[in-house]
Structure 1
Amino acid sequence: METDEPEPAPAPEEPALTTLLDSTAELVEKAEHVVEHVVEPVVEAVEEKIADVAEAAEQFVDEMAGIEETHTVSDAATPSDGKDEALSEAKEVPAKLTMEERKAKLDQLRKKMAASSRANRASLVEEASKAKMNARDTARLERQRKLAETLRLKADAEERGEDVERAKNWEYTIEENEEWEKKLARKKRRADFEFHDDAHAARRRYKKDLDQIKPDLEAYNKQKAIAMGHVGSLVGFNPTAGSSSEVAVISQEQRLAAENLYRDANTLIYGDSKPSEDAIDRVVGKINKDIDKKGKFSRKRLNEEEGDITYINEHNRVFNKKIARYYDKYTAEIRASFERGTAL
């Protein structure tokens, strides 16, 4: 009896599979070839650059070490003849340094660079702080420094059981003490600041200018030396004298110098004084200084160090000072905003 069985599927053709495998292998081979020709040159170039950088760094370290070694050997060597010169030349040849020594030298150079940078930064900050400080702050700090120095000396004297004023007076000489007493007496005489009349004010101004304008002692001594050259011969003609040899012959310069230096009521010389250029410059400088001082003059305020006035009397000032110790840190910003007009 015949049965209907399904026919088996035909097997794939072997030539087609072989062709596919060959194509895949060919593509893989081409990809490897492309990688070899593209990636490998890049890697080689990078390796060459790294090697060049390392070689340059090593050469720089060798040169720096060689220069330092050469300076050290040349400073230590003091050749006196040809043999010593040959030895010094041999010593100047730098020795080969190990990697540890090079690393130590590099660390030393880095430390020097860091120290130099810190020093430059510190000097820059100091100069900037000095530029921000004005003359008023400088004077205030100087007063505070002097006050602190005085308090320190007073505390040290109290610990030793000594008088501060007595210990300070031992540092002055008798001449300095007399000059100081004269200055105090003169200041006491001029302590009357009330305005009496114009003549009194002009006299006080004249006395004050005399304290600042010093006499020209050099010119005076020179004129006096010329006049006193023949002090015994400064005599006139005496008709009753028995001989003309008693009349001394003096020079015209000495005679004029004597008449200018020792003028009396019978002197006919008048209005012939000619000031020098330096004297004229001093007078002009004094006048300009007075003009500038008058233009910058302002009444001295009693609260220059305290700041703005926030009180109406002395009792209110003390009260405000007490509460400011506790509330200033909270109200400073609010007060500043009100003053700027931005607290809306």
Structure 2
Amino acid sequence: MRRNFARKQNHSEVVEEDKRSKMPANWESKKRRVEEEMALAERKKAAEAQGLDFDRLQMLEVSVEESDRWANKRKPADPDSGKWSDFVAATERQYTRNMRQFKPSMEEYNANKKLWEDSSAETSGLIVAGQHDAVSRQGVDRMVADLQKTIERRKGSSRRRTHDAEADIDYINEPNKRYNQAIERAFGKHTQSIKDDLERGTAL
């Protein structure tokens, strides 16, 4: 009796597993999402029947932790918008970007700190200008490498356009030239056949 029951149960589980394997990969999540949407629709209908604001009721159920988590998700990881407002903001943005990739040498710092403390004991902890002029070779190399990287980056992001002396002049001044270029970008592919017909007509 038990054996027959176990056999039937095993058979039904095999059939269910086979059915699940033939389903799409995301079928479970889709089914769960549809069930959640149906339950939400029923709750909305019940709230509207009672004359209540459903969105307000939903927000009352949200905990402070969930609200903070949503706010942090919407907050950009890098608050730098990239917009140029003034020189102070640009300098601060550049400094923050540089400090992100800066790896200080704590051994060098501690050695210099010990040297400064020993030599400036008689001046009550003050560092006299020009007293510590020695700069490590690694520090100079690091600065040079950073400057070269900045120069290379600026080369790649230059917006300066080379002047094409053989291009047709269809403008009367620089603003008109930029306007014509904008029109060409927007409508050039649509008007190319008309231009070709005009060129052939003038050539004849």
TM range (shorter): 0.3 to 0.5
Higher RCO (Cα < 8 Å, 6 or more apart): 1
TM-score, normalization by structure 2: 0.36
